[in-house]
Structure 1
Amino acid sequence: MLLNMRYESGATENLKLIQNIINILFRQLSFVMTMAVFLSSFTSLHAVDNVNDTTSSATPDSVVFQWISTRDTVALADWLEEGGDPDIYNADYTILGQEKYKRQTPSGIPIPFGRADLSRKSVHGINALHLAVMNDDTTTIGLLLDAGADIEAIDNDNNTPLLASWMIQQDFLSKYPNPFSNTFGYLPRTESQVKWSRKNAFLFLYNRGADISKLTASPEEILTRGTWFNMPEIMKIGLERGADVNVGIKNELCFDDKGEKQGEDDVLGRQLIHLAVKFKAIRALEVLIKNEAQLNTPDSKGQTPFIMAVNSKAMELIEILLAEGISPNSTDAKGVPALQVALQNGSPGLVKFLLRKGVSTDEFDLTDGRPLFSAIRHNKPSMVEGLLECGFDPNSFNENLKTLLHLAVSDRNELMCNILIKAGAIVDLHDGEGYPPLYYALGRTFQIPYSTIQLLLENGSDVNQTWGNGEGPLFAAALRNDPELLRMIIDYGADLDRVDGDGKTSVSYLLTSSIRFKTLKILMEYGANFLSLNRNGWTILHGIIRDKNRELLESVLAENVSQIINCLHKKKSPLHMAVTEGDTVFARLLLQAGADPNVGLEADELPFGQEFCFSIALANNDTTIMRLLFDFGARVYLGDKFIYDRDDAELVEDVLRRRKSQGEILFKEQRAIYLAVAYNAEKCAQVLINEGVDFKAKNIHNQSPLWWAINYPGRESLHLNDKSEVVELLLENGANPDQKDHYGLNLLCHTCDSQAEWLVKLLLKAGANANSKQQKKPALHFAVEKQNLSITKVLIEYGADIKITDRKGRTVFQIAQKNEDLEMVMLLKNAMANQE
């Protein structure tokens, strides 16, 4: 079933599926392994019960070792009572059982079977007492010793049980790398890893008379071990063997809070008293003090045990040290007194404790605002009140040049704001960037509650102050689009007509982003000038059109908007924007309110280009808006190519009719007839001709509309199938078919060269000279060169001279013979015979 699953949920879901399958397989494997161990143990026990000889030799050593690993003291005790050997030895038993550690929890932590750990390397050959020591199982150790086990037995590493119990995991792991670390991520070195897992076994064996003389550790190391693990019993052993309580700590036995070894420089000069304080070993500290340990010795960092205790907020340790005569006004290496250290750590309980113990406040810097900032950041109002009562400045700046009130406002902590204001904090004190607390209270990022803003205003924050580029509270409130907040700022006396450094008002600020209808209505209600402009000409109407807010547009247009309705922003009026978006409703509303459809044009200028409303609608092929603009008096340039591209004869006719009615001069755009014929707009051309346009006139290049109809510069030469109705229209109305342009190009010659047979016939029928020349090259020569028999026949029919020559003196016979065109030669011979 799993193989048939479809991967339809993306890579992420596939990975989750695979992970779930793996977890299920691991759980099943764990269950199988557990059952295997159980069945193995059960089978072994069953085998013992069925052995005829019930002596200890009948019990397999593997079963006995399994009892010890699982702490089955009942089975072990019964076996020992029946005469089992307490020094039983198993040559094949692996202490660590590394294969057993491969089962893991989902978090990656191995689940061992039994109590064996990885504190030693794998060895074969071990007796029962060593295994019990490895498990730190004092009950099993007692059973074995009571049964006569040899307390000085050695394993294959020559370690007695006492020596084996002395080892710690950190010693082993630093000496023997973990073989599973790269595969299973086994047991990372954390604080929990650095432990003495057999300390109970060590004490038990020591008290039962184990020979400690074989222990290679020095008395100082034993004392250090006892101090580290807060075990006075171990410390007593070291002291009995002559250890010095003021000995310096050896590097290999000193670890930081995470269990990592410290460098040589970090522990230089550190003594056992420092270690006891570091690990908050109260019982060990009492033993050291009782044995006259030096209490004021600084370590390499200049920290005395008392300062270390203050740093770690260890109240019991501090009280013990103070009871021994340590001054509560002690300082660290930099001369910072203990009280200031406690204040910097933000511990109000410790501060009050030190004050009760008589610490002086004259020895630390009241201008240092760090304790206050720490207390505010950690939301400790009682600590803040205590520091302020001690004389700390409520207007302190931090390293970012922000005051305490800035921090409290930014954290939305109204209680802290109240405490600071009552203590004399200046509500309008600006930070390093020039912003007061009110700026952060009104900012859109923080969303500070109204009550905090009102607290600042009620305590004297200036509602008309400025920041940045001249902005102020009213500007910030307008941008938050919060009607209630805006009313609050206005009710506290905000000036609605105030402008910033760019000359913008609060209404103008609304135009920089999406228009807020409710906010704008409130400003209008209070009498704000919503007709104000930005410096670049962007008005409220521009913003409304952009946001497509019809309700707001109707509300604004109900006022007198003549001042702004035709304002141009980057040559665009509000009407331009509506026309560009194709919004007929908005365009009609603006036109009805007085928008000028010819905005941007001079009095007699005609629109040409995309910066004019009608041209935009025309380019968009938006007939509805074009008609709307035309009805409201938009001027139309008949020389706009888009009119003829769509052959809008109705529009041309309406424009001409309106111009006649207004007494305007018609056809002042000579370009109209040229574009009509160039784009084959027959209907438009017919309207223009009917209205009397001079279609025979020529432009500066001596080109007539007929020339454009045949050879429009913006179009490639005509081909045989490119028939044009406007050519027929012009010729029918008397256009001259036999003409040249400024460059000497002849229409008939050009059409022969283009092989447009229908056009050749049309021109000849309209009276074109069949012997017309272009640059002294007759039309017949063009046809023969192109090897076009049909055009050649048409030219001959209309009287083309077979014997005519070009400027090189060549006849058409010579050209046909050179081209080896036999059909053409025969045609020309027959034609010459007929002409003769």
Structure 2
Amino acid sequence: MYRDEDELLTAIWNGDVQKVREIVTSEEMPISLMRLNKDGWTPVHEAAYYGQTDCLKLLLSAVPTMINTRTNKDQTPLILSVSKGHLVCVKYLLEKEADPKIPTKTNETPLYEACATNNDQMVLLLLRNGADVNQKCLDRWTALHESVLQNNLEICEILVAYGAQVTSSNIFGVSPLFLAAQYGFVEAVQLLVKNGADINSEAIDGATALYEACKNGYYETVEFLLSCGADANRPGKDGLLPLHIAAKHGHDGIISMLIMGTSRTKIWFSGISPLHLAAENNEDEALDLLIRAGFDVNTPLAPDHSCMYEDRRTTALYFTVANGNIESASMLLLAGANPNLDVFNPLLLAVRQGHLKMATLLMEHGANVNASIPTHPTTFPACVMLSVGNLAMLKRLMHYGVDASACFWCKYGLKQHLNNDTTHSCRELQYSPEMATNSCLQFCEMVSHPSVYRWAGSTIDLLLDYVGHVTLCSRLIEYLERYEEWTYIKEKSILPQHLMQLCRIRIRQLLGRERLKSISTLDLPGRLIKYLNHEQEDVL
């Protein structure tokens, strides 16, 4: 503590010029009054910070060498006064040759502070007194970067008039134009482009101003950039084009602007269609717009994109099914999407999710009801395994022609079965490389698994309605005999089938799986149609 320290500071804070004069003139060596506090501040810093110009004049007249003294953070009296907007105080400091180029420890300059506080008069004053308009702050940030971020067009114009480099970029390659586009400040974009900003400059991640404006949905900014020749076919380091990113975020108006100027070849080389991104993110309107623009709904993901998903999905349709998005799936299917292109059939995914409406939609458009899982082979349709416990789903699958007879084929027949511990829980099943197995799972092994056994009886009962004469294998017979309430199911398989049942099965076989959905259009009595569709048990 120096003598009269508290008294001097109090006088400065209160703007008591007379008291400050008394204290300063009473000292034989006024420099003794300028000791640093714990933060490195002196009375000169205090006077500058609080804008007490007259007090500052007294202090500096007594100790003029203190004008550029720095605090522990390298703050000068000038930058402290600028940060608080004390214009008169700043004028005096500059007249006394305060250095406007001295930065703080974080490289912030007085000019940066003036821009950060949107003080255009302060900016002009500093520039007229030697401030470096292009001096770099932290991370190579400039005053122009900051004024653009503040969307202060007037200060931007002042800086540009004093020679601010519109092409400067920070350590991340971000230019003032990039910032303006990122935040949709279209007037700042126009100013920068007018003054020579590189419209196609890239940040370190490869993103351009157009890319950022598309990502954030700034229609006017995108429109202006395109009118000035911004390249719509320049991808970021992620390989995505502006159209991709607009589709991903559902910016329909921007998509419309970009479609004509985006190269389909460039999209193909990217390995991913905008349709995939719109579908993945449930952007239905964007998806519809792209479909109407003629994008191929069956374009597959490139392997390097597909491998990023555990299920190795490849189509836009798969994304909509995974999301349970009926509307998007309908759009794609009506546009000609093939539901049988993915490794793990989308129908199997819908069945596994228990999404009856989605499964029906897919089957209506030709999804393969007898599809298998390549990494987990079965001797029967995989959808049967995935629908165990969901009789409504299983019945709908049967309606569309699932091969129920395959469920009753068994390599052991009436012989004793070998134990098989390789089966997976069908309720947990999904496509993944880890599922690979050398064995081929049989229906009898699946339904006797502990995870599904409680649904075995009802499942077998339903399947028997869709087959002719079948012989249950020893495992199914043994299993049905364990439970008294399932005795009738065993008897159902042994008793001769009714002629009507055999006729129904034969008619459905002759129609073929692809035409089963057309049964209701046949010129037959309504009760017979219902019988053929298993909607009633007889036609009498």
**Fold shared, TM-score > 0.5 on shorter chain:** yes
1:718 correspondence with 2:482: yes
- From 33, 52, 60, the counterpart of 1:314: 52
State whether residues 457 and 486 of structure 2, in contact with CA within 8 Å, keep that contact through their aligned partners in structure 1: no
> Is it true that 1:593 corresponds to 2:326 in the alignment?
no
Does the Cα contact within 8 Å between 2:279 and 2:320 map onto a contact in 1?
A: yes
Distance 2:148 2:100 in 1: 26
- Work out whether 1:541 is the aligned partner of 2:264: no
Alignment partner of 1:519 is 2:298: no
**Per-residue CA shift, 1:166-191, capped at 9, x if unaligned?**
xxxxxxxxxxxxxxxxxxxxxxxxxx
Q: Unaligned 5+ residue runs, structure 2? A: 371-379, 411-441, 448-455, 498-540
Q: How does 1:674-713 map to 2 (within 5 A)?
A: 681-682=460-461, 684-685=463-464, 687-689=466-468, 695-696=470-471, 705-712=472-479
**1:409 is aligned to 2:143:** no
Verify the 8 A CA contact 1:678 1:708 in the aligned structure 2: no
Q: Give the Å deviation of 1:297.
A: 4.2
Residue segments in structure 1 that go unaligned for 5+ positions in a row? 1-265, 602-610, 660-665, 697-704, 734-836
Amino acid in the other structure paired with 1:711 = E
Per-residue CA deviation, residues 768-813 of structure 1 (Å, 9 max, x unaligned), is: xxxxxxxxxxxxxxxxxxxxxxxxxxxxxxxxxxxxxxxxxxxxxx
Deviation at 1:277, TM superposition (A): 5.7
Q: Distance in 2 between matches of 1:617 and 1:494?
A: 42
Amino acid of the structure 2 residue aligned with 1:299: L
Hey, what's the Cα distance between the residues in 2 that align with 1:285 and 1:673? 98
Cα 1:294/1:688, change in 2 over 3 Å: same
Matched-pair contact (CA < 8 Å) for 1:652–1:687: yes
Query: How big is the shift at 1:395?
Result: 0.8
Change (3 A) 1:377 1:688: closer
> Is residue 217–residue 246 contact of structure 2 (8 Å, CA) maintained in 1?
no
Q: The residue matched to 1:532 in structure 2 has which SS?
A: helix
Q: How well do the aligned residues superpose, as a CA RMSD in angstroms?
A: 4.4
Map 1:741-752 onto structure 2 (within 5 A).
Answer: none
Cα deviation, residue 401, structure 1: 3.4
Q: Which amino acid aligns with 1:473?
A: A
Change (3 A) 1:448 1:413: farther
User: Residue 198 of structure 2 aligns with which residue?
Assistant: 462
TM-aligned CA deviation for residue 615 of structure 1: 2.4
Which AA in structure 2 matches 1:397? Answer: K
Query: What TM-score do the two structures reach when normalised by structure 2?
Result: 0.64
* Aligned mate of 1:485, from 212, 218, 221: 221
User: 1:423 offset after TM fit, Å?
Assistant: 0.8
Structure 1 SS opposite 2:164: coil
**Residues 650, 395 of structure 1: alpha-carbon distance in 2 compared, 3 angstrom cutoff:** closer
Where does residue 188 of structure 2 map in the other structure? 452
Among 281, 298, 304, the alignment partner of 2:32 is 298
Q: Indicate how the Cα distance of structure 1 residues 376 and 633 shifts in structure 2: closer, same or farther if over 3 A, else same.
A: closer
CA distance in 1, matches of 2:23, 2:443: 114
> Is 1:562 equivalent to 2:296 in the alignment?
yes
Q: Which residue of 2 aligns with 1:633?
A: 366
Residue 435 of structure 1 and its aligned partner are, at CA, apart by 1.7
- More displaced stretch, 579-588 vs 474-483: 579-588
Q: Given the alignment, which residue of 501, 511, 525 partners 2:237? A: 501
8 Å CA contact 2:280–2:323 kept in 1: the answer is no
Cα deviation for residue 466 of structure 1 reads 0.5
Structure exhibiting the larger radius of gyration computed from Cα positions:
1
Q: How far off is 1:414 after superposition?
A: 1.7
1:150 aligns to what? none
Describe the superposition over 1:127-185 as per-residue Cα deviations: whole angstroms up to 9, x where unpaired.
Answer: xxxxxxxxxxxxxxxxxxxxxxxxxxxxxxxxxxxxxxxxxxxxxxxxxxxxxxxxxxx
Quote the Cα distance in structure 2 between the aligned partners of 1:679 and 1:355. 91
Task: Find the counterpart in structure 2 of residue 331 from structure 1.
Answer: 66
How does the TM-score come out when normalised to structure 1?
0.43
Question: 1: CA distance between counterparts of 2:395 and 2:58?
Answer: 107
> Number of paired residues?
421
Contact persistence 1:545–1:586 (CA under 8 A):
yes
After superposition, where does 1:774-793 map in structure 2 within 5 Å? Answer: none
Counterpart Cα distance in 1 of 2:324 and 2:184: 42
1:428 equivalent to 2:179? Answer no
The 3 A distance-change label for structure 1 pair 711 and 586 is farther
Deviation of 1:599 after TM superposition, in Å, equals 1.2
- Structure 1 position 373 matched with structure 2 position 112: yes
Cα distance in 2 for partners of 1:494, 1:525 equals 14
Deviation sequence 1:500-529 (CA, Å, 0-9, x none): 222221122235x43222221121144454
Per-residue CA deviation, residues 608-646 of structure 1 (Å, 9 max, x unaligned), is xxx212323444555655454445433332534357863
Q: Does the Cα contact within 8 Å between 2:321 and 2:346 map onto a contact in 1? A: yes
**Map of 1:612 onto structure 2:** 345
Alpha-carbon distance, 1:455 to partner = 1.3
Does the CA contact (< 8 Å) of 1:487 and 1:522 recur in 2?
A: yes
Q: What code does the residue aligned with 1:532 have?
A: I
1:328–1:438 Cα change, 3 Å? farther
SS at match of 2:155: helix
| Mapped contact 1:530–1:540 kept (Cα < 8 A) | no
> Structure 1 residues 454, 579: CA separation in 2 closer, same or farther (over 3 Å shift)?
same
Matched to 1:403, the amino acid is T
Question: How many Å apart are 1:475 and its aligned residue?
Answer: 0.8
Quote the offset at 1:462 in angstroms.
1.1
